[in-house]
Amino acid sequence: MNWIEIFRSGISTGTVLLIAAIGEILTERSGIQNLGVEGMMLVGAMAGFKIAYQTGNVWLGLLAAIAAGGLLSLAHAVVTIHFQADQTVSGLSLTFLGTGLALVLGEGLTGQVAPIIPRASVPLLSQIPYLGQVVFSDHNLLVYFGYLLVPITWYYINKTRPGLHLRAVGENPAAADTLGVNIYRTRYLYTFVGGCFAGLAGAAISVAIAPGWYSNLTVNGQGWIAVALVIFAHWNPWRAALGGYLFGVLRRFTLDLQGPRMLFGLANPFFFNTNLVFFLQMTPYLLTIIALVWGSSAARKKRIGSPAALGTAYQRGERGR
């Protein structure tokens, strides 16, 4: 097995999860839960691929993907913030809506070839043995964007004034309201931003990391993994990066495990028994569950957890909890 290749591709595929998860972190930190990430990613993947294919310009495709994800998220914002509907139901509907839209509008794109985001190496850093090869050499540009996104989001949330307001709105909207923070505007903004990131994550699949349009198999459940990742990450971008890359590596590792005839000097059971492969494919998801259970109990002890007002609509002067 080529370990460097496993880690390299793990970081690539992890970038998709990372971008989507960071978008969802921003949305949830404002108190809005958007379970429609899968739908928004699919719409983003379709829009990105379609525009890149039709115009021949991949950057226009990327912009289209961001806009498409953002627009779709506004539907969720209107329903949950303005009309104060249940966020879970609205988010689930958004997934169906997004999936349907993407499949209809993506009709005829299957098998086409569109331009993709270029690759690059970082000078000097890519010369570092092993690490340079894995992290800094010949990656898609969006992978580097992911590296930058993590510290920037963390700084934004924890160390800036808009970040302070974002946290306050998600934790105690009534408190923020009495101090003159506009709850509705804040929540609209971050729901939209979360949608933009989900759209970008979708395009990161279709025009960058695994190019092509394969209808709903393009995203293939990664939106849901991103949602779970947010919980695993305790709404912290650093942990989201860790989880995203780890998950990417695991997915690639389980693929590579099926290749060789011999493993550690023994006959490889996954090569000879195809049924066992199903179990192998389960492991990343199984690990997700284990990580979630372990992560949430650790979080309770340290008193970090979901934003206190997550999933609740805000209305002035309402009585009761």
Q: What are phi and psi of 85, to 5 degrees?
A: -80, 170
> What are the CA-CA distances from residue 217 to residues 24, 38, 42, 104, 245 (Å)?
21, 11, 9, 14, 21
CA distance 67 to 88: 23
Query: Does residue 65 contact residue 199 with C-beta atoms inside 8 Å?
Result: yes
- Binding to other proteins by CB under 8 A, coded x per residue (else -) over 120-159, reads ---------------------------------------x
Query: Does residue 288 contact residue 221 with C-beta atoms inside 8 Å?
Result: no
What residues from 264 to 293 belong to the interface with other proteins (CB under 8 A)? Answer: none
The answer to whether residue 168 forms part of the interface with other proteins (CB under 8 A) is yes
Task: Tell the smallest beta-carbon distance from residue 156 to other proteins (Å).
Answer: 9
Task: Tell the smallest beta-carbon distance from residue 237 to other proteins (Å).
Answer: 17
| Nearer residue to other proteins within complex by CB, 175 or 282 | 175
The answer to whether residue 60 forms part of the interface with other proteins (CB under 8 A) is no
β-pairing, 119-120 with 139-140? antiparallel
CA distance 220 to 226: 12
Q: Looking at 19-27, 86-94, 104-112, 169-177, which segment touches other proteins (CB under 8 A)?
A: 169-177
Coil, helix or strand for 220?
coil
The answer to whether residue 181 forms part of the interface with other proteins (CB under 8 A) is yes
Query: Does residue 260 contact residue 33 with C-beta atoms inside 8 Å?
Result: no
Please list, in sequence order, all residues whose beta carbon lies within 8 angstroms of the beta carbon of residue 172, skipping any fewer than 6 positions away. 308, 309
| Nearer residue to other proteins within complex by CB, 169 or 205 | 169
| Nearer residue to other proteins within complex by CB, 138 or 318 | 318
Please tell me the count of residues contacting other proteins according to CB under 8 A: 27
The answer to whether residue 178 forms part of the interface with other proteins (CB under 8 A) is yes
The answer to whether residue 252 forms part of the interface with other proteins (CB under 8 A) is no
The answer to whether residue 261 forms part of the interface with other proteins (CB under 8 A) is no
The answer to whether residue 160 forms part of the interface with other proteins (CB under 8 A) is yes
| Nearer residue to other proteins within complex by CB, 123 or 320 | 320
| Nearer residue to other proteins within complex by CB, 174 or 255 | 174
Task: Tell the smallest beta-carbon distance from residue 173 to other proteins (Å).
Answer: 10
Task: Tell the smallest beta-carbon distance from residue 204 to other proteins (Å).
Answer: 28
Neighbours of 197 (CB within 10 A): 31
Element at 275 (helix H, strand E): helix 274-302
Task: Tell the smallest beta-carbon distance from residue 234 to other proteins (Å).
Answer: 11
- Convert 89-138 into a string of H (helix), E (strand) and C (coil): HHHHHHHHHHHHHHHHHCCCCCCCCCCCCCEECCCCHHHCCCHHHHHHCC
The answer to whether residue 162 forms part of the interface with other proteins (CB under 8 A) is yes
| Residue 210 per-residue DSSP state | S
Task: Tell the smallest beta-carbon distance from residue 314 to other proteins (Å).
Answer: 13
Q: Residues in the site for other proteins, rule: CB under 8 A?
A: 159-165, 167-168, 171-172, 174-181, 303-304, 308, 316-317, 319-321
